[in-house]
Amino acid sequence: MASEELILKLKKQIIQYLNLMDVQPEDIEADEPLFGPESNIALDSIDAIELSVLLEREYDLKITDSKQGKKIMASVEKLAEFITENGKA
């Protein structure tokens, strides 16, 4: 289970990296989908690339499999779990 501290940090980083000017960390639920119509922020494929850059720059982690990437980037909570499981939190 990822820490609340890491989840909040990720929310702030996502807002910063994706230039989501009208979004506050509290607007993003940790378990809500980041992509698709059921998402409050409705990210797209370009945003997925930016999230990959965030993971590389901030946590020295690379996603090499696109199927794995979809699972990892499903929500902030999943991103935090990936970071925690790979010892980069």
- pLDDT tens digits, 19-75: 998 999 999 999 999 998 888 888 999 999 999 999 999 999 999 888 999 999 999
In degrees rounded to 5, what are phi and psi of residue 19?
Answer: 50, 50
The Cα 65–Cα 69 span in angstroms is: 6
Are 7 and 76 a contacting pair, CB within 8 Å? yes
Kindly list the structural domains of the chain, giving each domain's residue range(s) and its CATH number in brackets, ordered by start.
4-85 (1.10.1200.10)
In degrees rounded to 5, what are phi and psi of residue 35?
Answer: -120, 150
Within 10 angstroms of residue 68's Cβ, the number of other Cβ atoms is 11
Q: Please classify residue 89 by burial: count the beta carbons closer than 10 Å to its beta carbon, then call 0-12 exposed, 13-18 middle and 19+ buried.
A: middle
Taking the whole predicted model, whether its pTM rises above 0.95 is answered as: no
- Who wins on pLDDT, 36 or 16? 16
* pLDDT at 40 (0 to 100): 84
Question: pLDDT by residue (tens digit) across 74-89?
Answer: 999 999 999 999 976 6
